[in-house]
Amino acid sequence: MNGPVAQEGAEKVRVLVVDDQDLVREGIAALLGIQPGIEVVGSARDGGEAVDLAGRWHPDVVLMDVRMPGMDGVAATALLRRQLPGCRIVMLTTFNDDEYVGRALRAGAVGYLLKNLPAADLAQAVRLAHAGVAQFDQTVLAALAAGTPAPDLLTPRETEVLRLISAGATNREIAARLYLSEGTVKNHISRVLGRLGLRDRTQAALYARDNGLV
């Protein structure tokens, strides 16, 4: 997995691990804890405990399982996004069902990864999520591209940006149309491409056309 690596002496990314299986949770926490640039601040057994502990420790990134007894990962994600808007939540699960993916993203998750990731790749995904880069397993991206409509993945503003991209508008034209700065437009475009698993504006325009947005 390519991307920025932790700089020596840089502030570590604080992570909360949430999983109902003790062995899995403790294993993930132990593996992440020895990766450069990562500090595991704690772990939780379910969504309710995750919300409580996150409010106490203010992690930068939460690795959240989807299916858990009591409060599941999707409900916990929605609560955390309201209570700690600066916290990035990445779903880490064995389930890549389209319905789970869509629900998690609508709740505010910035990524959806499967538990078969090597520890170094998971650590890099955590760093990238903290930097605002959406993270998705390749099989999840394939499922999204095959059948999940863009409005389920994007915010209303990102959907507007996607529509204008498909109409051939430049960043400056999009900025003028939506009363945004060009820097903000660039950030929106990066999130659109990341969330949809697309490489460039051309693919974004094709995606918008194929999903009935133009």
For 151-206, what is each residue's pLDDT tens digit? 566 788 888 899 899 888 899 999 999 998 999 999 989 888 877 767 788 888 88
How is residue 94 written in tokens?
A: 């064995």
Per-residue model confidence (pLDDT) at position 2: 39
How many residues are there in the chain? Answer: 214
- C-alpha gyration radius of the chain: 17
Q: What is the pLDDT of residue 149?
A: 53
Q: Which pair of structure tokens corresponds to residue 213? A: 């947005």
Q: Residue 146 has what pLDDT? A: 59
pLDDT at position 7 is 44
Dist CA 157 CA 32 (whole Å):
34
Residue that has been written with the tokens 């990731």 in this structure: 117
- pLDDT for the residue 53: 95
Confidence of residue 214 (pLDDT cuts 50, 70, 90): low
pLDDT band at 28 (very low <50, low <70, confident <90, very high): very high
DSSP string covering 177-191, please?
HHT--HHHHHHHHHH
Burial class (CB in 10 A: 0-12, 13-18, 19+), 3: exposed
Alpha-carbon gap, residue 192 to 204, rounded angstroms? 8
For residue 40, what pLDDT is reported? 95
Yes or no: say if 14 and 60 are a contact pair by the CB < 8 Å rule: yes
According to the model, what pLDDT value does residue 1 have?
Answer: 40
The first and second tokens of residue 134, run together, are 């959406």
The C-alpha atoms of residue 208 and residue 106 are separated, in whole angstroms, by: 19
Q: What is the pLDDT of residues 66-86, one digit of tens each?
A: 989 889 999 999 999 889 988
How would residue 6 be classed by pLDDT, with cut points 50, 70 and 90? Answer: very low
* Residue 151: partners with Cβ closer than 8 Å, 6 or more residues away: 159
Place of tokens 């309710």: 48
pLDDT at position 139 over 80: no
- Predicted TM-score (pTM) above 0.75: no
- pLDDT for 102 equals 76
Percent of the chain with pLDDT over 90: 43
Rank 4-8, 25-29, 112-116 by mean pLDDT and report only the highest.
25-29
| Cβ atoms < 10 Å from Cβ of 39 | 14
